[in-house]
Structure 1
Amino acid sequence: MSPGQVRTAGRGGPRGGAEAVGTGGRVARTAAELVLCGATIVAGGLLYGRFFATAGYLPQVCGAAVVAVLAATLAGLRRWGSIATLLTAVGGFALLSTYGVFRTTVIHGLPTGDTVAELARGMLGGWARMFTVVPPADLRGDLLITPVLITWIAAFTAATLVLRTRTVLAPVAPGLVAFTAALLFVGAQPGVQLLPTACFLASALLLVLLRAVRSGAELLADSRQAHRLRRATVGRLAAGVPSVAVIILLAVLGGQAFPLSSGADRFDPRALTEPPVRVADTLTPLVTLKTQLRERPPRRLFTVRTGGDAAGLDRVRTAALDEFDGVLWTAADRFLLAGRELAVDPALTASRTVTAEITIDGLAGPFLPVFGWPARLWPAGLDAGAIGFSRDSGVLVNAGDAWQGASYRLTGVLGAPDGGLPRAAPSTGPVYRRYTELPGLPSELHATAQRLTASESTAYAELVAIERYLRGLPYRLGAQPGHSYARLHGLLTGSGSDGKAGFAEQHASAFAVLARAAGFPARVAVGYRLPAARAGVHTVTTRDAHAWAEVHFERYGWVPFEPTGPAVSAAGSRGHPDGELDGSALGPRRPEPPPAARPRPDPPPAPADRSAGPSWEWLLWGAVLLPALGLLVGASIVLAKVRRRRRRRGATGNTARTLGAWQEAVDRLAERGVREPVSRTAVETAEAARAALGARVEPAVELAELATAATYAPTEPADGDVRRAWGLERELRMRLYPPRPSLRWLLAAVDPRPLRPGRHTAGERGNVGTTGIR
C-alpha cells in the first residue's frame, strides 16, 4: 500500500464513514443553532417596544437580525476570509439601513447625498439622541438607526461564532450584550419586560444545550459508535429540553414572586445627560400670581376649545412645583424632547381622556397650558423639535421662537374620581418620597397638621379636613405676598400683619406644607381656571390665574385640592376665588413687589451653517471612525487567527494535527518576515528561518522534521508525536515573543500576512509533500 493510499484510508475510512452518517444531523443542528441565535437577538429587539410609541420599529429591527444571520451564514459556508466577511457585514448593513431606515431619502431607487449624511449622523450621534427624548418616542430614522445597528452587529457576530467556533457559550454573548444595551436605552420605563426576558432565556439556554450536545457527539464520531452517537444525542436533548423549560419557568415565576428589587428606582442614563431643553433659573411661577391678578384690564392669554368629552374640566396647569426649601416652591423638572406620544403616569389607571385645542395669544411662556396628564401632542403651530416634556411632573415647555398665535392639540388623561377615591391610599415608595420632604419644618406647623387630621379615619378625609380649614380663612388679594414658613405661620395663627388673610399663593402653599407634614405626597400647581365657555371656547385671561395643591393617590394620580375659598365682598356676596376686594374695606394696601420676569427656556443651539466653509464635524467623525475601524479590523484578524488555530489543533487525524502545528509555526515565521516559497521544503524553510532569526527558532527545525515524517510515514504519527509538535509550536512562540505582552507581540497579533489568500490551511500537505526525509 502506497503512502497516498494510507492517507486515504486514514481520512476516509472509519471516521469518514461516521461523518457521512452524521452529515444530515450536523446540518440540522447548525440550522437550529442559527435560528436560536437569531431568536436571542430578536428577543433583545422586543425591548424597544417600551422606547418607541408604536410597533413600527419591529420590521426594521427583526429584519436586521434575520438578514444579518443569513449574511453571516453565506460568508461562513463559502469560507470567506476575514476581509470578505467584514465587507459582507458592512455592505449588508448599508443596504438595510438605506432602504429600511432612511428610505425617505432614496430617490428613484437610488441613495442620495442626504442618505449618506443621515446614515453618518445616525451612526455617530443616534445613540446620544435616544437619551434626549422621552419614551415613548416617535419613530424616526435618527432614533431607529442605533437599535438596527446594534441588532445587526450582534446577529452577524453570533452567527459567525456559531459557524466558525466550537465554544459552547460564545454565540450567546452578542445577544446578551444587545439585550443589555436595549435595557439601557429603554431606561426607567415602568413595567416588567416579561416576554422579551422569557424569549431570551429560552433561546439562549436551548442554544447552549445544542452546542453542548454537539461537542459531546463529536467525541463519538466513530462508525462503530454511530448508534451510540444517535442514542446519546437524543438522550441529552430529551433530558435537556425539559430542564430548560423548568429553569425558565422557575426564573420567571421566581422573579415575579420574589423580585430582587422593586424596580421603582431603576437606573436611567438620561439622568446623567444634559437635558436638551432647559428653563432659565428665574423666580418661581408662584410669585407671578398676584401680578397677573392685579392687571387692569385683564390681558387675554390663550383659548381652549373643547369637545363633548370635557365635562368637569375646570382648570389647566402650567407648572408643578415639587421642592420647598422653607422660603420658595420650585420645580426640579428635567425637560427632554417630546414626541407625539407622551409618557403617562403609570399610577393613573382610574381615568378618562379629554382632547382640546389650545391657541396661544398673550401668554409669555415658557410653560404650555396642559390639563390632567398629557398623553398625546399634535404641535401644529409649534416647533416639534423645541418642545420639552418632564415625565416626572407632566409639564410641557416650549423652547422655540413660535409662540404668539401658535396652537397645538392636546389629549390629557384626567383622574376619574369615583366611589373608591375616599378610600384610596396615597402613593408611597421611593418615587414619591421627595414629595413629602420639608426641610426645617417648624414644630408649630407640624402640630397644626396633626390637629387638623387627628379625628379623621381615612387619608382622603384628612386632606379634605385641611382643605376645609384653609377655605374658611379670609381671602384678600392685597395681603402680603410670599409663602415661606414664616408667612404660612402668620396665616395659620393670625400673628402676621394681615391676620389670617391671604390669597391663592399662601393657601396652596399652606395646603401642600400641611399635607406633607401629615405624610402625604403633595405639590403646588400653578395655572389658570377655565371660565365659562362660549360656543365651546374658553377664553383665559390674567384674571383667571390661580394656584392649588395636588396629592398623588394610587390609581387616581395627582388629585387636585382647592384650599382657596371665594372672595367675600363688604356686602357679604361671594365672587371669583381670586377676585380683588375694595381697598377701603381692607385698609391701606402694602406696596407691591416689582413684576417678576417670566422665565424662558434656553433656546436650543442653532444648527451649524454647513455652507459657510469647511466643517470641523467631518474631521471629528474621521477622528472617531478611523480608530474604530482600525480596532474592528484588528479584532477581526485576531479572531480569524484564533479560529484557524483551533481548527488546526482539532483537525481529524494525527497527521492533520501535526501538519497543523507546522502551519502555525510557518504563520509565526511569516509574521517575522520569513517567507515560505513553494519551491522550498519544510526543512529548508526552517533552516532559512534559523539563518535569519538565529537560534531562537530552533524548535521550528525539529517541528519541520516531524511534519515531513508525518507526510511520508506509512502510519499516522503517535499521540505523543502530536503533543510534541504542538509543544514545539508553543516553544517557538515563546522564544519569538518572550516579554508578552509587548509592542512586537501586539503588531504580530494583528499582522494580516498569515491570512493572505493562497496560503495552505490545516490538513493540507502544501510544500511539505515535496520534502525528503533527512
Structure 2
Amino acid sequence: MHATDRSGIAVAVSVMLATFALTPLTKDSSFLGVSWVVIIALGVVAVLMRRARLSAPAVLVAQLLLLGVVLVALSLTMPAPAAPWYEHFFGLYGAGAEHMRTQASPMDPDNGVKLIFVSAIGVIAVMTDLLVSGIRRPVWAIAPPATLFLVPAIGLGTDTGLISFGCLAVGYLGILVAEGLNSTARWTRGLSRDSAEGMGTAAPVVWRSAGYIAVPAVVLTVALGVIMPTLSLPGWGLGSGQGGSGPLELADPTLDLRRNLNQPTDRQVMSYTTDRPGGVYLRMASLPKFSDAGWQVATIRLDRGDQLPAVPGLRQEPAKRRTTTITVGDFRSEYLPLPYAPRRIQVAGQWGSDEQSLVVHSTRSGSGIRNLTYTVESVDIDPSGEDLAQASAGTPTDSALTSVVPNDLPDSLVKLTRQVTANAPTPALKAAAIQAYLRSARFTYSTEPQPGTGYQALENFLLKDRRGYCEQFAGSMAMMARVVGIPSRVAVGFLPGDRQGDTFKVSVRDMHAWPELYFSGFGWVRFEPTPAVASAPSWTVRGPSDAGEDPTSRPSSTSPTQRASAGPNPTVAPTQGPTTGDSTAGFPWRKTLTGSGIALLVLLILASPATIRIRRRSARMADGLMPDERVEAAWAEIKDTLVDLGGSWPEGSPRMIGTEVATRLHQDKSATLTQVATLVERARYSRSFDDPASVQNINQMTDEIRRGLAEPRSGWQRLWAFVAPRSLFRGLFRARD
C-alpha cells in the first residue's frame, strides 16, 4: 500500500468518526450518510492526485472545487422556490442559520442546517488531509476534527458523553499509527539507512509505541474530562460535570422558550394542584448575567438535599406555606419547575439547588423531569403595594452579577429609561413605571422572530418596531431596572396555566419569561411587563386591598396606578450565612484515592517518553548481539542522542557523517566518533564482520560520544532532551535527520 493511500484512509476514517459528535444537535441524522459520501469522494481525489505526484496546492484546489460542486448538487435536491440556483443555494445557508438561532438542541429537521453541517464536515476533511499529507504535520490533525466535538460540548453545556470523545480519539490515533507505518516503510538498506526515519521492519515497534503513549493519554484525558462540564463519568461524584458538586455551567433556557412558543400545535406538558387560592408561576431557570450577548445563565454551585437554602433577601419568612403537587408529562428538561420561593421538595432522583437563585437542577447525567411527579413546599412573595413602594433597592449577595450595568450599553436605552422613570420617586415606583410603559398600547405582543441580537435587539424593540414576546419584554424591564439602580434578573418557566376544577393544566405555549427585581426586606419580587399574557402582579399596581388577586386572571385594560408613599423607608437586606452542600460523614476516601490515582497517572504519562527512550538505549547496548548488530545499534544511539539534543543528522556515508559530526566535539571525542564511523563502514561493506574483539569497547565509546555531544548544551537543553526525547517523535514532527 502506498503511503499516501494509508494516510488518506486514516484521514477519512478519522473525520467520519468525528461526525458522530454533531448528532446531539439535531433530530435529523441523515447528514451523516451524505457527509460520509463527501468525505470518501474527497479522500479518493486526494489519493489519486498524490499517486500522480501532483503538488499539494493542486490537490487542495481540486478538493475545494469538488466540495463546492457536491454542495451545489446537494442544494438542488432540496425543495426550492422559483429562483435561480445560486439564490436558492445561499438562501438555504441563511435559512439554516436562522433555524439554528431560533431552535434549541436537538433541532427539528431543516434542509439549511443539513447543508451547513455537510459543508462544515467537508471543509474539516479538506483541512485534516492538508495537515497530514499536504504540509506533513500529522500531529496537528487533531485540531479540525476536534471542532466537531467542541461545538456541541461548548454550545450545549451538558455532557457530550464518552462515545463521541472516543470516536475522536480513535480516529486521531489511527492517523498517528498510519504515519508511523509510513515512516518505517521509507527505510532501505545501505547508505540510505542514515537518512531514513526508521530502522528495519518496525511495525511492531510502531504499535508498541502507540500503546505506550496513546493508551495512557486517552485514560488521562477521560479522567480529566470528569472535572469538565462537557464530559463526565456518571456516579463518580467528581468535578463540574453533571455528576459532581462543583460549579456547573447550565444550558441556555431561552432557546427552549423560543422553540416552545413557536410550536405548531399546543399540548399539555404538566398539571398541578395546590392548597392555596390561585395558580402559581412555575419557575425553572434564572438568568442573572447581562451583556451585549443578552441575558444568560451563570455558573452555579448545586447543593444537594430536600431542604433548600434561605430565601435571598427575605426579612421574615411567612408562617404559612403553599404545598403544590406537580405531574410532568412528555416534557424534557433538567430544570425542576417550582413556585418561588421553594423551601422543601420531595422528588425522586438526584437534584441540587443554587443558594442564590433557588433554581433546582439535576445532578445526574441523563436525569430529567419527563413523567415525573413531585411535591414542593413554598412561600409566596406577595408584598403589599404600599409596603413595596416604601422599600429601597437592596444589595443581593450576588450583586456582582445582578447589579452590573455594562459600560457599553447604548446611551439611547439609558436616556429612554430616565424619561420613563422621571416622575417616580422610589425604586418600586420606578419599577412600576417601567412595567406600565411596557404594558401600554405602544407595544405589540408577537412571537415572530425579530431581527438583531444583543443591544441591537433591545434598541429595535424599545425604540423602533416595539414588537416582541415575553423574552423581549422581560429582558427590557430587567435592563431598565438596573439603569435606575435596582438589581434584576430574568426568570424562565411557565405561566400558571388554565384551571379545570381543582387542577391547573399547563401547556407548552405557557412557557414564559419575566423579570425579578430585588428590594430590601422582600428579596426577589416578580414583575410582569408582558401584555396580553398575564395580569400584572397586584403589588405592582394597586394597594394592599387587592394583594390577593389571582395571578391567572387576564390583564385589565386600565393603566396601572402608582401610589406615592410618604417617603422611602431604607432597610438593609439581611446577610445570609453560607449554606452547606451535600456532604457525607467521614473522610472522603473515594475522592482522595481518585485524585491520587489521577496525579499518579499524570506522572506516569510525563515519564513515559523518558522511560521508552531508556529502554531503547538499554536494548541497543545489551550483550548477546552479533558484532555488526552492536555497531549498528551504537550508530543509531549516537544519531538519536544528537536528535534529542536538538541537532540534525547529516546525510551521506558513515565516514562523511562522522567527519561532520566530529567537528562539534572535542578532539578526543571526535577521534572516538571517527573510529565508530569506520566500524560502521566495515560492518556494512566488508565480506564478513564477525570479530568480537573489534567491538569490545563499543559501548564505552558510545557513552563517551554521547557525553561529548551533551557538553556544549545548557542544563535546560539536556533536561528537555531527557524528558521529551525528539527521536521518539521523529515521525510525528518530521524532524529531518
Normalising to structure 2: TM-score of the pair? 0.38
Normalising to structure 1: TM-score of the pair? 0.36
State which structure, 1 or 2, has the greater radius of gyration over its C-alpha atoms: 1
